[in-house]
C-alpha cells in the first residue's frame, strides 16, 4: 500500500507517467471494438424489457408452495404462451412475472396456474400493468435521459468550453452503449432500477471526467506563453496527476456493487438485485475507462486543431530539436528549464524532473540556515 501511495504521489508530481494521449489511437480502437460488439448485441438480441415497460401481469403464490422455480416457469409459459420470470421471495412465496400478455386474459392464466400449482385461485394475487402505462414509463425514461444529456453539455460548455462538453458527451454515449449492450448480451431484464443505475453511473462518469478537465483547465491558462510543452503534453499530465484518485474511487465504488451483483444476485439468488447492480458495475467500470482513455485524449485532439495550438506545437518541437542538437552541455543552468520560459510554465508530463538546487543557498554559512 505504501508503494501504491508513493506511485500516486510521483504521478501527481510528474516524476513518472504514462503517455495516454500519445497512445490514444489504441484506446480509440479498443473502444470502437467494444462499442460495435455492444451494438451488435442490441441489434441481434435486443433488450429484455421488464413488465413496467411493455405491460403484463405479476402473480404471487401463497407461502411455501411446493414447486420449484423451474417448474413454475414452465407452468407460467404453458398457461400464457410467453416467457416468464419467476423469483422465490424470502417468505417462501413465488413471484411470477409475465410480460407482453393481454391483461384481459389474466383470469384465464391465473386459473391455469392455480390448477398446476395445486392451490386455490383466490390465493393467487394478480397485479396488472397495462401496455399504455408501460409505454409511458419508457417514454419518460428516454426523456429524462435526453434532458440529462442536454443539461450536462450546457453546463460543461459554460464551465469549461465546448470541446470539453463534446468530449464528455461522447464519453457518456460510449458508457450508455456499452452498458445497454452488456444487458442485451447477458439477457438481464431492464426495469426502472436499471434506468436508475444508468443515471447514477452517468453522474459518476462525469465526476471523473470533470476532475481531469478542471486540472487541465488550470494547467493550460498560459500555455501559449511557453515553448516547453504542447497541449497534449499537459493533457497527459492532467490524466496522470488524477490517475490514482480515479483508480481508488472506482475500486471503492465497485466493491459494494460487486457484492450486490455476484453475492446477492448470483450466490444468494436475489435476482431483483441484478437489475440495478449490473448497470452500476458495468457503468462504473466503463465510466472510469472513458474518463481516462476517451474524454481527455479527445479534448487534446480537438484543441490541437486550433491555429494557436498548432503554432505552439511547432515552436515546442523546434525548441526540442534545437536542444537535442546542442546537447546537454549547451544548457549549463539546468537540465530541466529553458532560459526564455516563465517560472509558472506548465509542468512536466512524463519522465523524471530533477529540481535544481539554489546556487546561493547556504553560501557563507556552515549550516546553510538563515538567521
Bridge pairing between strands 56-60 and 94-99: antiparallel
Q: Which fold has domain 56-129?
A: Alpha-Beta Plaits (3.30.70)
The CATH architecture of the domain made up of 7-47+133-307 is Up-down Bundle (1.20)
In the chain, which residues fall in CATH 1.20.1640.10? Answer: 7-47+133-307
| Helix axes 231-258 and 192-219, enclosed angle (nearest 10) | 150
* 343's grid cell: 517560472
**Cell reading at 204:** 459518476
Whether 348 contacts 334, CB under 8 Å: no
| Closest CA relative to residue 167, chosen from 157, 159, 176, 177 | 157
Q: How far is CA 165 from CA 152, 155, 158, in A?
A: 8, 8, 9
Mean pLDDT over the full length of the chain: 78
Residue span(s) of the chain under CATH 3.30.70.240 come to 56-129
Going through the chain in order, the beta strands assigned E by DSSP cover 48-49, 56-60, 84-88, 94-99, 125-129, 189-190
Helices and strands in the chain: count of H runs, count of E runs: 12, 6
User: According to the per-residue pLDDT averaged within each range, which of 83-97, 123-137, 284-298, 334-348 is highest?
Assistant: 284-298
Give tens-digit pLDDT for 336-348. 333 334 444 444 4
Predicted pLDDT of residue 39: 93
Model pLDDT, residue 280: 87
C-alpha separations of 171 from 23, 155, 274, 326 in Å = 17, 15, 24, 43
Per-residue pLDDT tens digits for 214-271: 889 888 888 888 888 999 999 998 888 888 888 888 888 888 888 877 776 555 555 5
What 3-state class would DSSP assign to 31?
helix
Amino acid at each position: 500500500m505504501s508503494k501504491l501511495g508513493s506511485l500516486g504521489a510521483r504521478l501527481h508530481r510528474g516524476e513518472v507517467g504514462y503517455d495516454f494521449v500519445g497512445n490514444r489511437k489504441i484506446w480509440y480502437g479498443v473502444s470502437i471494438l467494444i462499442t460495435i460488439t455492444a451494438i451488435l448485441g442490441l441489434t441481434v438480441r435486443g433488450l429484455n424489457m421488464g413488465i413496467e415497460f411493455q405491460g403484463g401481469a405479476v402473480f404471487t403464490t401463497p407461502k411455501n408452495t411446493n414447486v420449484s422455480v423451474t417448474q413454475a416457469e414452465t407452468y407460467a409459459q404453458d398457461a400464457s404462451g410467453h416467457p416468464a420470470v419467476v423469483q422465490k421471495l424470502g417468505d417462501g412465496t413465488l413471484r411470477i412475472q409475465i410480460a407482453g400478455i393481454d391483461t384481459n386474459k389474466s383470469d384465464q392464466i391465473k386459473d391455469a396456474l392455480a390448477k398446476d400449482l395445486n392451490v386455490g385461485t383466490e390465493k393467487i394475487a394478480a397485479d396488472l400493468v397495462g401496455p399504455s402505462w408501460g409505454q409511458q414509463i419508457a417514454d419518460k425514461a428516454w426523456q429524462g435521459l435526453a434532458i440529462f444529456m442536454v443539461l450536462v453539455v450546457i453546463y460543461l460548455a459554460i464551465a469549461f468550453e465546448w470541446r470539453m462538453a463534446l468530449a464528455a458527451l461522447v464519453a457518456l454515449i460510449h458508457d450508455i452503449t456499452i452498458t445497454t449492450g452488456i444487458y442485451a448480451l447477458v439477457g438481464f431484464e431492464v426495469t426502472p432500477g436499471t434506468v436508475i443505475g444508468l443515471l447514477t453511473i452517468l453522474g459518476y462518469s462525469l465526476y471523473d471526467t470533470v476532475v481531469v478537465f478542471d486540472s487541465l483547465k488550470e494547467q493550460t491558462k498560459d500555455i501559449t506563453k511557453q515553448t516547453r510543452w504542447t497541449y497534449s503534453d499537459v493533457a497527459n499530465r492532467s490524466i496522470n496527476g488524477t490517475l490514482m484518485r480515479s483508480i481508488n474511487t472506482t475500486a471503492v465504488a465497485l466493491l459494494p456493487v460487486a457484492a450486490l451483483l455476484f453475492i446477492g444476485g448470483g450466490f444468494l439468488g436475489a435476482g431483483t438485485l441484478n437489475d440495478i447492480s449490473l448497470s452500476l458495475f458495468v457503468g462504473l467500470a466503463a465510466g472510469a475507462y472513458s474518463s481516462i482513455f476517451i474524454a481527455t485524449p479527445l479534448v487534446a485532439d480537438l484543441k490541437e486543431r486550433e491555429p494557436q495550438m498548432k503554432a505552439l506545437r511547432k515552436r515546442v518541437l523546434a525548441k526540442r530539436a534545437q536542444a537535442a542538437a546542442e546537447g546537454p552541455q549547451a544548457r549549463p543552468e539546468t537540465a530541466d528549464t529553458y532560459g526564455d520560459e516563465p517560472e509558472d510554465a506548465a509542468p512536466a508530463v512524463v519522465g523524471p524532473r530533477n529540481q535544481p538546487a539554489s546556487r546561493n543557498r547556504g553560501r557563507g554559512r556552515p549550516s546553510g540556515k538563515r538567521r
